[in-house]
Amino acid sequence: MANAYKRILLKVSGEALSGDQSFGIQPEFLAGVAEQIAEVARSGVQVAIVTGGGNIFRGMAVAANGGDRVTADMMGTLGTVINALALSGALVTRGIKSKVFSATTMPSVADTYTARAAKAALEDGYVVVLGGGIGNPFFTTDTAAALRAIELECDIVLKGTNVDGVYSADPKKDPKATRYEQISHEDVISQNLRVMDTAAFALARDNNMPIIVYSLDDKEGLSGVLAGRVRSTRVGNPRK
Ligand code: UDP
């Protein structure tokens, strides 16, 4: 595999770990994601991961029913740390060095995130798994992915979803929807093409961070995406 990228930020959403269940972690899906990451890490690419938590808890669900959003988002954040621990453990089982960092202080569970410590771990060959989002309510882990990629000076954000890129409309609803091979951050925002939240795209735009959107179902997996063999959309400037 050609290592076109030196350091990547991979967003692993909760649904990538829950598979066809609506809740929790399915061992086969966890193993599948870990295998793909292990393959890329073995090839010498430095890998940082931001875990989502939608398979465990989403703060908005409580807030929608009149509950306190700040508390609910803390619960959601804890879910992202559970996923980070699961994924890091699955990597270690495969002989990959991995460390969990949490944006929320919980020293008996994980190292507290600082960009300095996470970068040092990446340079030492650890796959760093970043739980706890950005550590604040009212944000999502998509925004955390964009932010951490910028802070850690990654070359690219990889966002696996259930479609193979960014479309002009929802391809599951509109048969005329077409997929973009490349599109600017600005166009994604102005056309309201929802694949990640707007805050994530705006942050990526302002800091010139490209994002590749691809399907988690593609058989080529993460190494195929990095090698450019997978149908996907590049958000940002065309590749030089
Ligand atoms: N969350 C938060 N701050 C963050 C990131 C996440 O409060 O910076 C909470 C929020 O409640 C969110 C939940 O954690 O709903 C799970 O994250 P997300 O919805 O991004 O997970 P994904 O959809 O990627 O599985």
Which helix (H) or strand (E) is 78 found in, with range? helix 69-93
CA dist 160 and 204 (Å) reads 16
Residue 240: per-residue pLDDT: 64
Any atom of ligand 1 within 6 Å of the Cβ of 52:
yes
Q: 239 Cβ partners below 8 Å, 6+ apart?
A: 210
Which residue in this structure is represented by tokens 């961070």?
Answer: 209
Contact between 237 and 155 under an 8 Å Cβ cutoff? The reply is no
Tokens of 84: 């980070």
- Per-residue pLDDT reduced to its tens digit, 108-139: 999 999 999 999 999 999 999 999 999 999 99
For residue 173, being part of any structural domain is answered with yes
pLDDT at 177: 95
Atom of ligand 1 nearest to the CA of 54: 25
β-pairing, 182-183 with 156-161? Answer: unpaired
Question: How many residues are recorded in the chain?
Answer: 240
Indicate which atom in ligand 1 lies nearest the CA of residue 77: 14
Q: What's the CA-to-centroid distance between 229 and ligand 1, angstroms? A: 30
pLDDT of residue 4: 86
Q: What is the pLDDT of residue 74?
A: 96
Give yes or no for a contact between 94 and 34, defined as CB atoms under 8 angstroms apart.
yes
Give the three-state DSSP class for 60.
Answer: helix
pTM of the predicted model as reported, rounded to 2 decimal places: 0.97
Task: Report yes or no on 59 lying in a domain.
Answer: yes
Q: What per-residue confidence (pLDDT) applies to 98?
A: 98
Q: Which mutation among 12, 22, 58, 196 tests ligand 1's pocket best, with the greatest number of atoms within 8 A of CB?
A: 58
* Burial group, residue 151, by CB count within 10 angstroms (0-12, 13-18, 19+): middle
Strand order in the sheet with 232-235: 111-112, 98-102, 127-131, 46-51, 7-12, 156-161, 211-215, 232-235, 182-183
* Ligand 1 proximity of 59 Cβ (cutoff 6 Å): yes
The verdict on residue 25 lying in a domain is: yes
Provide φ and ψ at 211, rounded to 5°.
-130, 135
pLDDT tens digit sequence for 219-234: 999 999 999 999 999 9
Which of 29, 33, 49, 141 should be mutated for ligand 1, with most atoms under 8 A from CB? 141
CB 189 within 8 A of CB 201: yes
Q: The domain containing residue 24 runs over which residues?
A: 7-235
Q: Helix 198-206 crosses helix 141-151 at what angle (to 10 degrees)? A: 10
- Using CA atoms, how far apart are residues 125 and 89, in angstroms rounded to an integer? 16
**Ligand 1 center from residue 77 Cα (angstroms):** 6
Give distance in angstroms: CA of 72 to centre of ligand 1.
10
In a domain, 2, yes or no: no
DSSP state of 216: T
Residue 207 lies in a domain: yes
User: If you compute the radius of gyration of the chain from its CA atoms, what whole number of angstroms results?
Assistant: 17
Residue 240 placed within a domain = no
Counted domains in the chain: 1
Distance between Cα 153 and ligand 1 center (Å):
22
CA 112 to chain centre: 19
pLDDT in tens, the chain (240 residues): 446 899 999 999 999 999 989 899 999 999 999 999 999 999 999 999 999 999 999 998 888 899 999 999 999 999 999 999 999 999 999 999 999 999 999 999 999 999 999 999 999 999 999 999 999 999 999 999 999 999 999 999 999 998 999 999 998 899 999 999 999 999 999 999 988 999 999 999 999 999 999 999 999 999 999 999 999 999 998 876
Domain-embedded: residue 181: yes
The answer, yes or no, to whether any atom of ligand 1 lies below 6 A from the CB of 148, is no
Closest ligand 1 atom to the C-alpha of 83?
25
**Atom in ligand 1 nearest the alpha carbon of residue 103:** 8
Tokens representing 97 are: 């060095």
Task: Quote the pLDDT of residue 234.
Answer: 97
Look at ligand 1, atom 15, and give the residue with the nearest C-alpha.
58
Query: Can you give the pLDDT at residue 1?
Result: 45
Task: Indicate which residue's Cα is closest to atom 23 of ligand 1.
Answer: 54
Instruction: Read off the CATH number of the domain in which 137 is found.
Output: 3.40.1160.10
Query: Is 120 strand, coil or helix?
Result: helix
